[in-house]
């Protein structure tokens, strides 16, 4: 493998690590992990999910119990998803993923410039589903 390519890959990784999108994502994740209410909701959700899984594995499952536990799961998930820190994590992850799509599209265009033109690429990566 080319040392030059690996050096460039490390440089790209370093640039990504110091990008605002990555820094904000890590900060949001750290804040969410420090929040006892949010981590408590997550723990409750995981415990209840395991209980539901065990119910489904029984030879003669209690479907009413499963239904009630599933509703509880949905309520816990909704509470979690509505928490401002969970929303911040989701948004920052989406922002980082969008940046990574643009990075990947840039690499694809550089590696196969004729391929993007053949598929009618207009160069607007923000609205693109990705290069094939």
Higher per-residue confidence, 126 vs 69: 69
Higher per-residue confidence, 96 vs 115: 96
Burial 57-87 (b: 16+ CB within 10 A, else e): eeeeeeeeeeeebeebbeebbeebeebebbe
Given this model, what pLDDT does residue 69 score?
94
| pLDDT for 28 beyond 90 | yes
Given this model, what pLDDT does residue 124 score?
60
Residues with Cβ < 8 Å from 55, sequence gap 6 or more?
A: 61, 62, 65, 66, 69
């Amino acid at each position: 493998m080319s040392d030059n390519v690996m050096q460039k890959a490390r440089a790209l990784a370093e640039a990504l690590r110091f990008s605002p999108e990555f820094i904000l994502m890590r900060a949001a994740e750290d804040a969410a992990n420090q929040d006892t209410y949010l981590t408590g909701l997550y723990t409750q959700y995981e415990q209840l999910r395991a209980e539901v899984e065990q119910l489904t594995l029984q030879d003669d499952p209690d479907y009413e119990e499963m239904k009630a536990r599933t509703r509880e799961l949905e309520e816990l998930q909704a509470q979690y998803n509505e928490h401002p820190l969970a929303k911040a994590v989701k948004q920052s992850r989406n922002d980082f993923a969008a940046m990574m799509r643009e990075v990947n599209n840039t690499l694809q265009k550089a590696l196969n410039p004729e391929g993007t033109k053949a598929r009618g690429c207009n160069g607007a990566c923000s609205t693109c589903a990705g290069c094939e």
